[in-house]
Amino acid sequence: MTLLLQVSDPHFGTERPPVMQALQALAEAERPQVLIVSGDITQRGSPGQFDAARRYLDGLGIPAMLAVPGNHDIPLLQPLARWLRPYAAFHRAFGPELEPVLEMPELLAIGVNTTRPRRHKDGEVSAAQVARVAQRLRRATPRQLRIVVTHQPVHVVRPRDEHNLLHGAGPAVRAWAEAGADLVLGGHIHFPSVGLLSDRYPGLPRRAWGVQAGTAVSHRIRSEVDNSVNLLRYEAADGRCLVERWDYLPESRRFGLARRSELALDRGT
Protein backbone atom coordinates (compact mmCIF):
# COMPACT_ATOMS: atom_id res chain seq x y z
CA MET A 1 0.00 0.00 0.00
CA THR A 2 1.14 3.54 -0.74
CA LEU A 3 0.27 6.08 1.96
CA LEU A 4 0.31 9.83 1.29
CA LEU A 5 -0.17 12.73 3.68
CA GLN A 6 -1.63 15.89 2.15
CA VAL A 7 -0.83 19.05 4.09
CA SER A 8 -2.16 22.36 2.78
CA ASP A 9 -2.15 25.99 3.84
CA PRO A 10 0.03 25.69 6.95
CA HIS A 11 0.71 29.46 6.69
CA PHE A 12 3.93 29.39 8.70
CA GLY A 13 4.02 32.61 10.65
CA THR A 14 0.53 31.83 11.99
CA GLU A 15 1.14 28.25 13.17
CA ARG A 16 -0.35 26.76 16.35
CA PRO A 17 2.27 24.83 18.38
CA PRO A 18 -0.17 22.26 19.85
CA VAL A 19 -1.46 21.45 16.37
CA MET A 20 2.09 21.11 15.06
CA GLN A 21 2.84 18.62 17.82
CA ALA A 22 -0.34 16.69 17.05
CA LEU A 23 0.50 16.49 13.34
CA GLN A 24 3.97 15.26 14.22
CA ALA A 25 2.38 12.52 16.33
CA LEU A 26 0.03 11.57 13.48
CA ALA A 27 2.91 11.30 11.03
CA GLU A 28 4.89 9.16 13.47
CA ALA A 29 1.90 6.87 14.04
CA GLU A 30 0.84 6.45 10.40
CA ARG A 31 4.28 6.65 8.74
CA PRO A 32 3.29 7.89 5.27
CA GLN A 33 5.81 7.43 2.45
CA VAL A 34 4.91 10.67 0.65
CA LEU A 35 4.15 14.21 1.82
CA ILE A 36 2.24 16.49 -0.55
CA VAL A 37 2.13 20.20 0.34
CA SER A 38 -0.47 22.02 -1.72
CA GLY A 39 0.56 25.62 -1.24
CA ASP A 40 0.38 28.59 1.13
CA ILE A 41 3.31 27.18 3.01
CA THR A 42 3.90 30.60 4.58
CA GLN A 43 1.83 33.60 5.57
CA ARG A 44 3.95 36.33 4.00
CA GLY A 45 6.57 34.53 1.90
CA SER A 46 9.50 35.60 4.06
CA PRO A 47 12.77 33.61 4.19
CA GLY A 48 12.35 33.06 7.92
CA GLN A 49 8.86 31.62 7.50
CA PHE A 50 10.07 29.34 4.70
CA ASP A 51 12.99 28.18 6.84
CA ALA A 52 10.65 27.35 9.72
CA ALA A 53 8.32 25.50 7.39
CA ARG A 54 11.09 23.43 5.85
CA ARG A 55 12.52 22.49 9.25
CA TYR A 56 9.12 21.39 10.47
CA LEU A 57 8.17 19.44 7.35
CA ASP A 58 11.53 17.69 7.30
CA GLY A 59 10.99 16.84 10.95
CA LEU A 60 7.87 14.86 10.08
CA GLY A 61 10.25 12.17 8.84
CA ILE A 62 8.42 11.42 5.60
CA PRO A 63 10.81 10.04 2.93
CA ALA A 64 9.49 11.89 -0.15
CA MET A 65 7.94 15.34 -0.50
CA LEU A 66 6.27 17.32 -3.29
CA ALA A 67 5.48 20.97 -2.59
CA VAL A 68 3.96 23.71 -4.75
CA PRO A 69 3.64 27.41 -3.90
CA GLY A 70 0.44 29.22 -3.01
CA ASN A 71 -0.50 32.86 -3.38
CA HIS A 72 0.74 33.61 0.15
CA ASP A 73 4.18 32.29 -0.78
CA ILE A 74 4.84 35.32 -3.01
CA PRO A 75 5.89 38.43 -1.03
CA LEU A 76 2.95 40.79 -0.67
CA LEU A 77 4.49 43.67 1.25
CA GLN A 78 7.69 43.88 -0.83
CA PRO A 79 6.63 45.05 -4.32
CA LEU A 80 10.13 44.92 -5.80
CA ALA A 81 10.71 41.36 -4.68
CA ARG A 82 7.20 40.38 -5.81
CA TRP A 83 7.89 41.46 -9.38
CA LEU A 84 11.59 40.73 -9.77
CA ARG A 85 12.15 37.61 -7.61
CA PRO A 86 8.71 36.37 -6.53
CA TYR A 87 9.82 32.80 -5.78
CA ALA A 88 13.30 33.43 -4.39
CA ALA A 89 12.44 32.39 -0.83
CA PHE A 90 10.50 29.34 -2.03
CA HIS A 91 13.47 28.25 -4.18
CA ARG A 92 15.87 28.71 -1.28
CA ALA A 93 13.83 26.43 0.98
CA PHE A 94 12.31 23.91 -1.44
CA GLY A 95 14.62 23.86 -4.44
CA PRO A 96 14.47 25.08 -8.04
CA GLU A 97 11.28 23.32 -9.15
CA LEU A 98 7.99 25.20 -8.92
CA GLU A 99 6.27 22.30 -10.68
CA PRO A 100 7.91 19.16 -9.31
CA VAL A 101 7.10 15.64 -10.41
CA LEU A 102 7.30 12.70 -8.03
CA GLU A 103 7.26 9.22 -9.51
CA MET A 104 7.23 5.86 -7.76
CA PRO A 105 6.15 2.41 -8.95
CA GLU A 106 2.62 3.00 -7.63
CA LEU A 107 2.42 6.79 -7.83
CA LEU A 108 2.76 9.67 -10.26
CA ALA A 109 2.26 13.10 -8.68
CA ILE A 110 2.60 16.23 -10.81
CA GLY A 111 2.81 19.71 -9.31
CA VAL A 112 1.35 22.75 -11.07
CA ASN A 113 2.25 26.31 -10.11
CA THR A 114 -1.11 28.09 -10.23
CA THR A 115 0.11 31.31 -8.64
CA ARG A 116 0.77 34.51 -10.60
CA PRO A 117 2.63 37.53 -9.18
CA ARG A 118 0.12 39.84 -10.89
CA ARG A 119 -2.73 38.22 -9.01
CA HIS A 120 -3.13 38.77 -5.28
CA LYS A 121 -5.31 35.73 -4.57
CA ASP A 122 -6.76 34.04 -7.63
CA GLY A 123 -4.98 31.19 -9.39
CA GLU A 124 -4.54 30.49 -13.06
CA VAL A 125 -3.40 27.62 -15.25
CA SER A 126 -2.11 28.21 -18.77
CA ALA A 127 -2.61 26.16 -21.92
CA ALA A 128 1.08 25.27 -21.85
CA GLN A 129 0.79 23.96 -18.27
CA VAL A 130 -2.31 21.97 -19.17
CA ALA A 131 -0.54 20.36 -22.12
CA ARG A 132 2.62 19.60 -20.14
CA VAL A 133 0.70 17.84 -17.39
CA ALA A 134 -1.45 15.90 -19.85
CA GLN A 135 1.61 14.74 -21.74
CA ARG A 136 3.20 13.47 -18.53
CA LEU A 137 -0.01 11.75 -17.42
CA ARG A 138 -0.16 9.80 -20.67
CA ARG A 139 3.15 8.16 -19.82
CA ALA A 140 1.86 6.80 -16.50
CA THR A 141 1.47 3.08 -16.00
CA PRO A 142 -1.89 1.46 -15.20
CA ARG A 143 -0.54 0.57 -11.76
CA GLN A 144 0.18 4.18 -10.75
CA LEU A 145 -2.16 6.47 -8.84
CA ARG A 146 -2.11 9.63 -10.96
CA ILE A 147 -2.33 12.86 -9.03
CA VAL A 148 -2.21 16.50 -10.11
CA VAL A 149 -1.46 19.02 -7.34
CA THR A 150 -2.60 22.65 -7.57
CA HIS A 151 -3.07 25.30 -4.92
CA GLN A 152 -6.35 26.90 -5.96
CA PRO A 153 -9.20 24.39 -6.30
CA VAL A 154 -10.68 22.94 -9.47
CA HIS A 155 -13.76 21.78 -7.55
CA VAL A 156 -15.63 23.21 -4.56
CA VAL A 157 -18.74 22.00 -2.77
CA ARG A 158 -20.00 25.28 -1.27
CA PRO A 159 -21.50 28.06 -3.44
CA ARG A 160 -19.61 30.68 -1.44
CA ASP A 161 -16.30 29.19 -2.65
CA GLU A 162 -17.14 29.40 -6.36
CA HIS A 163 -15.17 32.62 -6.80
CA ASN A 164 -12.02 30.81 -5.62
CA LEU A 165 -12.05 28.29 -8.48
CA LEU A 166 -8.87 28.11 -10.53
CA HIS A 167 -9.02 30.21 -13.69
CA GLY A 168 -8.83 27.81 -16.63
CA ALA A 169 -9.97 24.85 -14.53
CA GLY A 170 -12.54 23.60 -17.04
CA PRO A 171 -10.19 22.93 -19.97
CA ALA A 172 -7.51 21.70 -17.56
CA VAL A 173 -9.74 19.13 -15.87
CA ARG A 174 -11.04 17.84 -19.18
CA ALA A 175 -7.54 17.46 -20.62
CA TRP A 176 -6.12 15.88 -17.47
CA ALA A 177 -9.00 13.44 -17.06
CA GLU A 178 -8.69 12.38 -20.68
CA ALA A 179 -4.95 11.87 -20.15
CA GLY A 180 -5.56 9.62 -17.15
CA ALA A 181 -5.66 11.75 -13.98
CA ASP A 182 -7.31 10.12 -10.97
CA LEU A 183 -7.17 12.94 -8.44
CA VAL A 184 -6.62 16.70 -8.41
CA LEU A 185 -5.46 17.82 -4.96
CA GLY A 186 -5.77 21.42 -3.82
CA GLY A 187 -6.16 23.80 -0.91
CA HIS A 188 -6.56 27.59 -0.68
CA ILE A 189 -10.10 27.75 0.74
CA HIS A 190 -9.30 26.06 4.10
CA PHE A 191 -12.25 23.72 3.70
CA PRO A 192 -11.75 19.97 3.17
CA SER A 193 -13.90 18.08 0.69
CA VAL A 194 -13.97 15.21 -1.79
CA GLY A 195 -16.00 15.46 -4.99
CA LEU A 196 -16.48 13.72 -8.30
CA LEU A 197 -15.19 16.13 -10.94
CA SER A 198 -17.87 15.12 -13.44
CA ASP A 199 -20.44 16.72 -11.10
CA ARG A 200 -18.92 20.08 -12.08
CA TYR A 201 -17.57 19.19 -15.50
CA PRO A 202 -20.13 16.87 -17.16
CA GLY A 203 -19.05 14.48 -19.86
CA LEU A 204 -15.55 13.72 -18.62
CA PRO A 205 -14.13 10.67 -20.41
CA ARG A 206 -13.18 8.90 -17.19
CA ARG A 207 -13.79 9.11 -13.45
CA ALA A 208 -11.65 11.68 -11.62
CA TRP A 209 -11.92 13.27 -8.19
CA GLY A 210 -11.21 16.64 -6.61
CA VAL A 211 -9.68 16.38 -3.13
CA GLN A 212 -9.39 19.50 -1.00
CA ALA A 213 -7.47 19.81 2.27
CA GLY A 214 -8.12 22.30 5.05
CA THR A 215 -5.49 24.37 6.78
CA ALA A 216 -2.99 22.09 8.49
CA VAL A 217 -1.52 24.01 11.43
CA SER A 218 -2.52 27.68 11.09
CA HIS A 219 -4.84 29.61 13.36
CA ARG A 220 -6.54 30.86 10.17
CA ILE A 221 -9.23 28.19 10.43
CA ARG A 222 -12.82 28.49 9.24
CA SER A 223 -15.71 28.24 11.67
CA GLU A 224 -17.01 24.96 10.20
CA VAL A 225 -13.87 22.91 10.73
CA ASP A 226 -10.70 23.05 12.81
CA ASN A 227 -7.26 22.26 11.40
CA SER A 228 -7.27 19.20 9.15
CA VAL A 229 -5.10 17.11 6.84
CA ASN A 230 -5.76 14.23 4.46
CA LEU A 231 -4.32 10.74 4.40
CA LEU A 232 -4.61 8.88 1.08
CA ARG A 233 -4.28 5.10 1.05
CA TYR A 234 -3.80 3.44 -2.33
CA GLU A 235 -3.75 -0.26 -3.09
CA ALA A 236 -2.31 -0.73 -6.56
CA ALA A 237 -3.29 -4.40 -6.69
CA ASP A 238 -7.00 -3.64 -6.79
CA GLY A 239 -6.98 0.09 -7.63
CA ARG A 240 -8.57 0.94 -4.28
CA CYS A 241 -8.10 4.50 -3.00
CA LEU A 242 -9.24 5.77 0.39
CA VAL A 243 -9.17 9.44 1.32
CA GLU A 244 -9.24 10.03 5.05
CA ARG A 245 -9.85 13.46 6.53
CA TRP A 246 -8.18 13.89 9.91
CA ASP A 247 -9.29 16.85 12.03
CA TYR A 248 -7.52 18.40 14.99
CA LEU A 249 -9.40 17.72 18.24
CA PRO A 250 -8.64 20.53 20.71
CA GLU A 251 -9.96 18.65 23.73
CA SER A 252 -7.47 15.82 23.27
CA ARG A 253 -4.79 17.78 21.36
CA ARG A 254 -4.56 15.17 18.64
CA PHE A 255 -5.75 14.52 15.11
CA GLY A 256 -8.69 12.14 14.82
CA LEU A 257 -10.29 10.45 11.83
CA ALA A 258 -13.30 12.55 10.82
CA ARG A 259 -14.35 11.06 7.48
CA ARG A 260 -13.35 8.27 5.13
CA SER A 261 -14.19 8.31 1.41
CA GLU A 262 -13.58 5.32 -0.84
CA LEU A 263 -12.97 6.53 -4.38
CA ALA A 264 -13.83 4.38 -7.37
CA LEU A 265 -11.00 4.73 -9.90
CA ASP A 266 -11.03 3.89 -13.58
CA ARG A 267 -8.36 1.29 -14.11
CA GLY A 268 -8.94 0.27 -17.71
CA THR A 269 -6.00 2.44 -18.79
| Rounded-to-integer distance, Cα 68 and Cα 62, Å | 17
On the CB side of 53, how many CA atoms lie within 13 Å of its CA? 34
Phi, psi dihedral angles at 260 (to 5 degrees): -125, 130
Answer yes or no: is 268 within a domain.
Answer: no
Answer yes or no: is 157 within a domain.
Answer: yes
Q: What is the pLDDT of residue 75?
A: 82
Answer yes or no: is 269 within a domain.
Answer: no
Q: What is the pLDDT of residue 119?
A: 72
Here the contacts of 227-230 (C-beta below 8 Å, separation 24 or greater) are: 227/16, 227/19, 228/192, 228/255, 228/258, 229/5, 229/6, 229/7, 229/8, 229/23, 229/26, 229/255, 230/5, 230/6, 230/185, 230/192
CATH no. for residue 134? 3.60.21.10
| pTM of the model as a whole | 0.96
pLDDT by position in tens, the chain (length 269): 999 999 999 999 999 999 999 999 999 999 999 999 999 999 999 999 999 999 999 999 999 999 999 999 998 666 665 666 789 999 999 999 999 999 999 999 999 999 998 777 899 999 999 999 999 999 999 999 999 999 999 999 999 999 999 999 999 999 999 999 999 999 999 999 999 999 999 999 999 999 999 999 999 987 678 999 999 999 998 889 999 999 999 999 999 999 999 999 987 65
Nearby residues of 70 by Cβ (< 8 Å), 6 or more positions away: 9, 38, 39, 40, 41, 115, 151, 187, 188
Q: What is the pLDDT of residue 165?
A: 98
| Rounded-to-integer distance, Cα 27 and Cα 152, Å | 25
Answer yes or no: is 183 within a domain.
Answer: yes
In this structure, which amino acid lies at residue 132? Answer: R
Taken as a whole, the chain contains a residue count of: 269
Q: What total of structural domains would you count in the chain?
A: 1
At 50, is the secondary structure helix, strand, or coil? helix
The domain of 100 spans 2-263
Q: What is the pLDDT of residue 87?
A: 95
Nearby residues of 238 by Cβ (< 8 Å), 6 or more positions away: none
Q: 136 with 127: CB under 8 angstroms?
A: no
Answer yes or no: is 123 within a domain.
Answer: yes
Strands 193-196 and 228-235: unpaired
Answer yes or no: is 20 within a domain.
Answer: yes
